[in-house]
Amino acid sequence: MILLAFFASRYNDTDTVSRPVYDTVVQERDNARAEIARLEAEVTRLQQENRDQATRIAELEKEIAELRRQLAKKDPLEVYNAEAVRSRTAIVDALAKAVKADILREKIEGLDVSAQGDALRFQGAGLFASGQGGLSGQSLRIIRLLGDHLARQLPCFSTGPSGKVDLSCNPDLVLIETVQVEGHTDADASQAYNLQLSMTRALSAFNEIAPDSARDDHPPMLGFENLLDQPVLALAGYGEMRPITDNDTLQGKAANRRIDLRFIMYVPPGKDLIPHRVEDIERISAELKLRGGEP
């Protein structure tokens, strides 16, 4: 019994702790668990706040984009330029439709006309033979008819003695700056030769669209002017430098031997200050009134 009591006392001395120590350890453990729970709750709160902030930021960005879109619609300059593009598209499409009807009525083969954004394009084997500078035959007839159609489109979008801007057909007072008759060639021969050849082709088309003397059925074509009192009709030759397809086949070469009628619309000047450009639109109205237009 004495020995058993001895061993029992030894066991208690080495494997047990006092109550105060035990309570301290338990308290520290509970405190740590509570701190972990608090920190986890804080992390969750911050994550939720970030999600809320991200959602709000996205909403604000959407609102800003919508306001900018509405502002662009109300910006007189944006409205003016958008209407200029719309009017140009309508002019080119109307001309393409009219000329296609001419080709069908005249039963012309080997000649194609198409609307190409800001340009009316004439191409095909029936337009120019290789090395040919001037229009002839049926292609000459079609370009003359183009001049008739153009004479009916230009008055409402130009000034000068032949122009007549009218709100009934041009409510936003958009104006044509230039109608450029452009000549093109295939890649045969030298570049210098092709440049001269393309100018000859452009001049041939130009002379049919704007003959020296006005025909009885439409006003003088050079009487259609821009705001600088310059005729809107102009011409340019690009040689082989602006092909629309490769020159490896006869069909490709025929397509590149073409005439483009390119419409360049007037854009109000000004670099940095929108108000300056808006004022210029107002100046257009004032000038048109002085020139006898009806804005």
For residue 119, what pLDDT is reported?
A: 97
Q: Is 284 a domain residue?
A: yes
Please state the domain count of the chain.
Answer: 1
Q: Is 6 a domain residue?
A: no
pLDDT tens track for 185-239:
999 999 999 999 999 999 999 999 998 765 556 678 999 999 888 999 999 999 9
The letter for the amino acid at 55 is T
Torsion angles phi and psi, residue 225, rounded to 5 = -125, 160
Q: Is 35 a domain residue?
A: no
Task: Indicate left, alpha or beta for 46 from its phi (over 0: left) and psi (-120 to 50: alpha).
Answer: alpha
Here the CATH number for the domain that contains residue 119 is 3.30.1330.60
Segments of 117-171 assigned E as strands = 119-123
Q: Which CA distances in Å does 58 have to 7, 55, 62, 190?
A: 75, 5, 6, 59
pLDDT tens track for 265-279:
998 765 443 444 455
Q: Is the pLDDT of residue 295 over 60?
A: no
Q: Is 189 a domain residue?
A: yes
Strand order in the sheet with 112-116: 112-116, 119-123, 259-265, 176-183, 233-237
Average pLDDT, rounded, for the chain: 83
Q: Is 183 a domain residue?
A: yes
For residue 20, what pLDDT is reported?
A: 73
Cβ atoms of residues 260 and 121 within 8 Å: yes
For residue 218, what pLDDT is reported?
A: 62
Q: Is 46 a domain residue?
A: no
